[in-house]
Structure formats: C-alpha cells, structure tokens
Amino acid sequence: MPETQRKKGEDVMAILSEEAKTIIAQTHPGLIATADKSGRPNVSAKGTFQVLDDEHVLFADIRSPRTTANLLENPQVSALVLDPATRHGVRVWGRADVLSSGELFDRVSRELAAERKLEAKNIVVISVDECVTF
C-alpha cells in the first residue's frame, strides 16, 4: 500500500517515513528528474542520493552540468529510488537548492572524498514536498 506522509499545519513539506529512509539508504542509484525553464526534461542517475533529515534528501553534483543548470533555472525536482528485485521504492517531489559552499557542502564533500574518492562540484538539497513509498 502506498504511504504518503505530510506535516500537519501550514507547512506543506513532507516528512520522510522510516520506510522511505530505509529504501533510500539501501538502494542506489536514485534517478533525478529536472526540467529547464522551457520544460525540456532531463533524468540523471545519482549514486550519492541520501537522506539528510526527516524533510530533506540530497545528492552530490559530480558530473551533472545539465541537472545543475536545470535546477538553477527551475528548482522543481522529482526523484525515484527503486529496487528492481523487490519492486519497492520511493518517489519524492520537492524543491532543490544548489549549494557550492557552506558547512553542509564542506561536510558532504569531505565524506565523499574520504569514503569514495569523489569530488563534489555542488551539493543539491531537496526540500521534500511529497513522498510516496510503494
């Protein structure tokens, strides 16, 4: 049964369920869908897709010039994480912020360099508007 969770009150940002967090942590890559200001779509696989907290997910821009350019023009984003073996997954819709400096950028960049020898150009943080598990 699909599960959608939203915070109560005026804020429409979604809360990621424990099931959604587990699926995101255990399944890679995540697919990120963006569109430029004219609506031309782009989908890109992200092996760095991860949960930041109950209301945010993130990924690193390693080699994603089109994804980043689209998000700077149009911050609306959708992500899909799917385990093909179990057919369980998570869909996330939200708004992205592209970070090229700051504490979070520095921390995630250091972790990626140390653990995976990857260099992040940017860190993209998605504020989750809606999250559905299936």
Instruction: Count structural domains, the chain.
Output: 1
In whole angstroms, give the CA distance from residue 59 to residue 77. 12
pLDDT tens column, 35-61: 999 999 999 999 999 999 999 999 999
Exposed, middle or buried by CB within 10 Å (0-12, 13-18, 19+), for 133? buried
Residue 19: CATH number of its domain = 2.30.110.10
- Predicted confidence at residue 25, as pLDDT, reads 96
- Predicted confidence at residue 13, as pLDDT, reads 52
Look at residue 103 and give its three-state secondary structure: helix
pTM of model > 0.75: yes
Exposed, middle or buried by CB within 10 Å (0-12, 13-18, 19+), for 10? exposed
Task: Provide mean pLDDT across the span 8-35.
Answer: 84
Domain that holds residue 86: 3-133
pLDDT tens column, 63-104: 999 999 999 999 999 999 999 999 999 999 999 999 999 999
Per-residue pLDDT band for 14 (boundaries 50, 70, 90) equals: confident
pLDDT tens column, 103-126: 999 999 999 999 999 999 999 999
